[in-house]
Structure 1
Amino acid sequence: MWNDNESLSDYIDYSHLSKAVTTIIDTDNLLPCSIGIYGDWGSGKSSLMRMVEKKYENDSDILVIKFNGWLFEGYEDAKSVLMGRIVDEIISKRKFSEKAVKYAAKLLKRVDWIKVAGSSLKYGMSFLTLGPVGIAAMSLADTMSKMKDIDYENYIKEKQEKGSDDSDDTLRSNIQEFHKNFEALIEETKIKKIIVFIDDLDRCSPDTIIGTLEAIKLFLFTKKTAFVIGADERLIKYAVKRRFPEVPGENLEVGRDYLEKLIQYPIRIPPLNRIELTTYVNLLFSQLYSKDFEEFDGIRNHFMQAKLTKGFDFTLDQTNISEFFKIKNTEFDDAILLCSQIVPVLNLGLNGNPRQAKRFLNTMLIRISMASAKSINLKRRVLAKLMLLEYFKPETFTDFHDIQAGNNGEISLIEKLENITSSAIEDEDKEGEKTNSLTPEEKILLEDNWIIDWIKSEPKLAKENLQPYFYFSRDKLAISAVNIQRMTPKAQEMILKLLSESEAVQKIAVKGLATLSSSEAASIFEALTQKVRQEENLSNSKSFKALFELCREKPELKSQIVIFLNKYPDHKLPAVTTTHAESLLKDSNPEALSQLLTSWSKSPNKVLANVAKKKIK
C-alpha cells in the first residue's frame, strides 16, 4: 500500500506548477507577495508545497518557515500565533548580534501587545489601561470579570493627555512599530528573504482562516517576505461569507473580491485527466513492486524528463512500461493490466482526484491482505470491479450482496444482464424475450449507461462465487459506514445546502446538482439514504426530499432510488412518497413506477396504500 502523506516525488508532473511558484519567489521586485496554491481536497497541494520548499531549505540566506494552521486551531488569536511563530523561527535559526536581540525582544513584546489589544477590541477598550504589570498579574477571565463598567470618556481623556508618542498604548502604533522592527531584524540577521508555507488552512474554522489571512496582509506583509498558502479556494470563500454575513448580494462574489485582496498570485491545481491518472496509478504500482526506492525514483525522474520532450499525450501504460521498469513479477503485470481497465472509470467518477484514486487502491489492497490472512485468494480484477459498483452505485451493490447471500455467492441477475448486454441483438423479439424475464426494478438497471458499461467490462462475474468479496466489504455494508472522507469539499458543501433550514439556500443547491461528478453524486446519495434510514419521521424530512431532487438532476441515480424505495419499510413511508416517485419516474420509467405503486397499494400503511391505489387508477 501507499502512505497518504505529502510526497517529494512527483508522480503527476507538477514541474510547471512548482516553476510558477519559484519564479515569483525568486523575482525580488515581486516581494513581498502572497501566493495561493488552490485545489480540491486530495489534489496534491501539500506535495506541491513540499517540492517548492525543498528548493530553498538548504539555502543559508533564505529562511523557510512552515506553519500548519490546523495545529493551532483553538487559539484565540490566530494573528498573534502566526506572528509569534515566525519571530520564534528567526530566533532559533539565526545567530543574533546585540542589536538583533533588541529588535527581537521588541517584536515579542509587540506580539503580546497586539494579542492583548485584540482581546480589548473584543471585550472592551479599558482592558488596555491595566498596563503590562496588571496584565501579567491576572488571567484574561479574571480581568474581564472585573471590567464590567467601562469608562470610555475617561479612556479618551487619558489618551489625549498622554499624546501620540505613547506608542505601546494603541494597536495601530504597535502594528506600525512591528513592521519597522521586523524589517530591521531581517536586515540585522542578514536574511535574504523569508518564505512562509501555510498549509491545511482550509481545515480550520472560518475565524482561524480569516485571522491567518489578515495576519499575512496586515502584520507580516513586509519586505523580503513571501507567503505560500495551500487551501481549497471554495472553503476560504465560505469563511469569508461567514465573516461578512451582512453583505447583500452573491456571497461568493464577496469571497472572491476579498480573496483577491489577500492573495496576489493564485495558482490552481487542475484535476488529473485520463492520461495523467494512468501515469499516476502505474507509477504507484511500479513503486510498490520496486525493491529499491532510490532506483525507482531515478527511473520515475527519467520518465518525467522523457515526458517533457515527448509532449502532453505521452503516458506510462502497458505499451511502454517495460521500457522504464524491469520488474519481473506476474503480480505487477496483473496490476498494470488492472490499471488499464479501471482508470477510465476512476477518472470519470473520482473527478481526476489523485488522493481518492490512491485510497480506492489502498482499500482494494487492504481487503486482499485481510483475505490472505484467512487463506482466501481474492482476484484483483473481480474485487476492483465490485468496488467500482460499491463506490458509484451503492444501492445496487447492497442489493447484489443480499442476492448472493441467499444463493451461495452467485448472482443470477448478473448472468441475465451479461447475456442481454453481451452483443447487439438484431432480433427485437428475442431481445424482448430476454428483457421480459426481468422485473421492472431490474429493467431500470439497463437504462443506466454506467451499469451497462460495468456489466460489459471484464471480468465476467456470472459464474464467480462472490461471497468472499462481499464478506470483506462488510465495513461498507454497515449503515454507519458513510465514507465522508471521499466526499469532495464541493459534495460536502452541497449536502449542507440541501439540508439547510433556508429554502432559498436549498433551491440554490438544487440548481447546482447537475454539475456534480458521478462520484460526488453517488457519495451524496449514500449520505442522504443513510440519514433517511436513521430518521423516525419522513413527513418533513429534508434528507428524503433531497434524495428525489438529486435523482431528478442526476438521472443515472434513478435505478438506485428505485432499489432503495423497494427495500425501505413501507410502513415508515409518508403518503407524499407516491407523488415524489410519480414526478421522478412517470415519463422515463413507468414500469418501475407501476411496480412501486402496486407494492405500496398492498401496504399495511393505510394512508400510503390509499394514495397509491388512487394513482394506479
Structure 2
Amino acid sequence: MSPERRFVVLNDAPLGDGADEDLLEVTAVARGLTDLIVASRDSAPFTLAVDAAWGMGKSSLLHRLETTLCAEPAVSSVWFNAWTSGGASALEGLIKSVLLRFDRNVIRRALRSMSRRAHLIGVVRGLGLVVASFFGLGRVVDEMWQRMSLDAQARNQIKGVLRDAFGAWMAKGGAPDGRRLLVVFVDDLDRCASERVIEVCEAIKLYLDVPGVVFVLACDQSALWRSVQESAGIGEPAAAVEYLEKIVQISYRIPAPSPEQATRLVDGYLYRSGTSGLFDEALKYLIIARSGRNPRRIKRLINSFVLEYHLNRSWAEIGLENLVKVILLQHFYPDFYRLLVNPRSTDLISEFLEYHEFRATLRQGGNAVGGLLESKGLHPGAGLAELEAELPAEYPVLAVDRDFVALLRSIGEPGDLVNYLQRNPLSTVLPPAELRQGSALRGFRVLWIDDNPSHIAPLVEYLQSRGALVDVAADRAGALAVFERSTPHAVVSDLHRGADDAGTTDLAHFRGEGAHYRGPVLFFTSREPGAAVQSLVRDLDAEGPTTDADAVIRWVERIAALTRVRPG
C-alpha cells in the first residue's frame, strides 16, 4: 500500500460540534422548525419533541436548529444534556441551567419579588448577602437553590420566582413585537433512567411552564413512553401516552434518509475516512440497505475497517477489499461470520456457494450432483432436505438473500481468506443483536410474513438491532409454524404474493376458526391496493396498508411501547 494513503476514524460529533458539512441535510428542516417556533411565539410555553431512534441525527438537528434560531431577533437558547449533566437531579440541573441564562440583575429583581411573600423573607435575607457579594452568578443560583430546597414551602413557590425572572428578562424587549423567546434544548433524554425522565417532565410542566419558553426535546418517544409507565406508577400503557401528551404538544419524526441522501451520506463518510476507493457501488448499496440508513451505524462499520487495518497491516497483502467484505459479514451477517471464523469449520464460503448452486439447479428442474453431497456422506440422489439437514441452519434463509450471495461471490480466493481469518479473526467484537443500538424493543416478538425476504431484510435487521425478536415466514405454512412455537406481539405482512392478495386471505384464516392470532397486524406493500382490499383490511381489524417503511418502524415501536414485555 502506498505510504501516502491514510485511513482515519470518524467521530460521533453532531452537526455544529466540529462537523461543519451537512451530510444529514438537516439545514432545511431546521429552517422550517425555526419558522414554526418563531411564528408561534405567542403560544409559548410549549414543547416540541424531535423524535428518532438511536443514531438517526437528533443531536445534529438540534445543533443546527439552535444556530438558526439564535440568528433570529430576541431569541436566546439554553442547552441541557439530560444524560451527561452530572450527579445532581435533572430537576435541579434543568432549572439551574435556565436561571444561569439570566444576568444578576434579573435574579435580583426576582428576589425582590420573592420578598413580598411573607414566608420567604428569611430566605431572601440570606440570599441578599450573596447577591450583593462579588461571587459569580453560578454561586448565586446554587445558593438560591440550596436554601429553597431546605424549605418545602419555599420550594413550592419556585415557579413564582421563575415567572418573575422570566418577566424581568422578557421586559428587556428586543423583538419586533416586544417579546423575547427562550428556547431550552434538552438532548439525550431517552438515554436516561426512568426517574430522571420524570424529573425533566416535572421541571417542564410544574416549574418552567411560563410565558416565553419553548422546550425542544431530542428523544425516542417509544423509550419515553416506557420510562413514564415504569416510573410514574401508571398502570395502563394508554395513560402513559396521555401523560406525555400533556408535556409534548407537537412532535417531529426524523425520517430515515432517502436512498439519494443515504448515498451522499455514505460517500461523505468514506471520503472523510479515506476509504472511498475500497467501496464499489454494490458495497455502498449493501451498507445503505442493511444499516437501516442509520448514520451512526454506518460510521461504526467504517470505523471497524479503519481499526482492523491499523491493528493488522498484513491485510494490505491479503486484500483490503476482502477486509471490507469481511467487516460487512461481521456487521450484517454475524451468525455466518461466527461460523466462518470457527477453527473447526471448513471453507464455509465455498461450501455455501456450492449449496446455493445445488439448490438453484434443483429448483430449475435439473439434476444436482457434485462433491457437496459426497462430502456430507450423502448418496448421489439425495434431495435438498437431506442436504440441508447436514448444513448450518442459517443456509436456507441466506440462500434467498441476493445481497449476501453476491457478497460471497465477490470474494477472491475464498479458501485462502477463510484460512487467514481462522488464524486472525477480527479484533472488533460486536455485542449481541438484542443489545445493539439500545434495547428499546428488547423481548418484543414480531412475525413478518413476506415471500421476498431480501426485500424486507434491512427493516428486519433494524428491528433486531433494537432488540426485537423477528421471525420471517414466506407463506401461511411458515406463519402457522411460528404460531405453534409462540405468540408474537405483532404481525407485519405483505399483501400481494404473485397475482394473489394472499395477505388478507391468510389473515382471515389466522383470525378465523382456531384463532391462531388475534393481535395487532399491519400490512406493508410495495404498491397501492384498491378500495376493496383496503376495506377488507379494516374488516379484519388490521392497520394499513402502507408503502412507507418508516411507518412500519413507527408502528412496531408504538405497539411495543403499549405492550408490557418482560426482557429475556
Deviation at 1:454, TM superposition (A): 1.3
Distance 1:23 1:441, change over 3 A: farther
1:238 corresponds to which of 218, 223, 226: 226
Q: Is 2:441 aligned against 1:494?
A: yes
Match of 2:324? 384
Deviation at 1:391, TM superposition (A): 2.6
Contact 1:277–1:343 (CA<8 Å) still a contact in 2? no
Deviation at 1:237, TM superposition (A): 0.7
Unaligned runs of 5+ in 2: 1-8, 124-142, 374-381, 450-455, 471-481, 493-568
Distance 1:375 1:447, change over 3 A: closer
2:165 corresponds to which of 172, 181, 188: 181
Deviation at 1:90, TM superposition (A): 1.9
Match of 1:3? 11
Distance 1:470 1:5, change over 3 A: farther
After superposition, give the CA deviation of every residue in 1:413-451 in whole Å (9 maximum; x if it has no partner).
Answer: 145246547889745213698665945242751353455
Contact 2:340–2:422 (CA<8 Å) still a contact in 1? no
Aligned with 2:97: secondary structure?
helix
Match of 2:525? none
Deviation at 1:283, TM superposition (A): 1.8
Match of 2:396? 446
Contact 2:78–2:182 (CA<8 Å) still a contact in 1? yes
After superposition, give the CA deviation of every residue in 1:469-513 in whole Å (9 maximum; x if it has no partner).
Answer: 455544456xxx525797234xx1333xx3xxxxxxxxxx33578
Q: Is 2:340 aligned against 1:400?
A: yes
Match of 2:354? 416
Q: Is 2:470 aligned against 1:519?
A: no
1:85 corresponds to which of 92, 97, 121: 97
Contact 1:39–1:269 (CA<8 Å) still a contact in 2? yes
Aligned with 2:171: secondary structure?
helix
Deviation at 1:267, TM superposition (A): 0.6
Distance 1:429 1:410, change over 3 A: closer
Deviation at 1:53, TM superposition (A): 1.3
Contact 2:362–2:368 (CA<8 Å) still a contact in 1? no
Deviation at 1:184, TM superposition (A): 2.0
Contact 2:56–2:294 (CA<8 Å) still a contact in 1? yes
Deviation at 1:366, TM superposition (A): 1.5
Deviation at 1:33, TM superposition (A): 2.5
Equivalent residue letter for 1:242? E
Equivalent residue letter for 1:465? L
Task: Name the CA distance, whole Å, in 1 between partners of 2:113 and 2:219.
Answer: 29
Correspondences of 1:118-517 after superposition (within 5 Å): 169=153, 171-188=155-172, 192-247=180-235, 249=236, 251=237, 253-289=238-274, 332-335=276-279, 337=280, 340-372=281-313, 374=314, 376-402=316-342, 412-414=350-352, 416-417=354-355, 419-420=357-358, 426=364, 428-430=366-368, 436=382, 438=387, 440-442=389-391, 444=393, 445-449=395-399, 451=401, 453-457=403-407, 458-461=409-412, 462-469=414-421, 473-475=425-427, 482-483=431-432, 487-489=436-438, 492-495=439-442, 498=443, 509-510=444-445, 517=459
Deviation at 1:101, TM superposition (A): 4.9
Per the normalisation by structure 1, the TM-score is 0.58
Task: Name the CA distance, whole Å, in 2 between partners of 1:426 and 1:483.
Answer: 38
Distance 1:379 1:275, change over 3 A: farther
Contact 1:371–1:377 (CA<8 Å) still a contact in 2? no
Task: Name the CA distance, whole Å, in 2 between partners of 1:102 and 1:56.
Answer: 28
Q: Is 2:91 aligned against 1:103?
A: no
Equivalent residue letter for 2:389? P
| Residue correspondences, number | 418
Distance 1:47 1:430, change over 3 A: same
Distance 1:215 1:355, change over 3 A: same
Task: Name the CA distance, whole Å, in 2 between partners of 1:236 and 1:287.
Answer: 34
Aligned with 1:428: secondary structure?
coil
Distance 1:179 1:389, change over 3 A: same
Equivalent residue letter for 2:441? M
Contact 2:188–2:219 (CA<8 Å) still a contact in 1? yes
Match of 2:32? 20
Equivalent residue letter for 2:101? E
Identity %: 18
Task: Name the CA distance, whole Å, in 1 between partners of 2:184 and 2:362.
Answer: 61
Equivalent residue letter for 2:418? L
Aligned with 2:84: secondary structure?
helix
Distance 1:72 1:333, change over 3 A: closer
Aligned with 1:446: secondary structure?
helix
Contact 1:488–1:520 (CA<8 Å) still a contact in 2? no
1:34 corresponds to which of 39, 47, 50: 47
Distance 1:180 1:108, change over 3 A: closer
Task: Name the CA distance, whole Å, in 2 between partners of 1:512 and 1:425.
Answer: 27
Equivalent residue letter for 1:518? V
Deviation at 1:5, TM superposition (A): 1.7
Task: Name the CA distance, whole Å, in 2 between partners of 1:395 and 1:343.
Answer: 22
Contact 2:205–2:247 (CA<8 Å) still a contact in 1? yes
Contact 1:107–1:181 (CA<8 Å) still a contact in 2? no
Task: Name the CA distance, whole Å, in 2 between partners of 1:233 and 1:244.
Answer: 16
Deviation at 1:82, TM superposition (A): 1.1
Contact 2:15–2:60 (CA<8 Å) still a contact in 1? yes
More strand by share: 2
After superposition, give the CA deviation of every residue in 1:170-224 in whole Å (9 maximum; x if it has no partner).
Answer: 5544423431332223324868321211101111111211211221222222222
Aligned with 2:256: secondary structure?
coil
Deviation at 1:14, TM superposition (A): 2.2
Task: Name which of structure 1's ranges 270-279 and 183-192 shifts more when overlaid on structure 2.
Answer: 183-192
Task: Name the CA distance, whole Å, in 2 between partners of 1:470 and 1:451.
Answer: 25
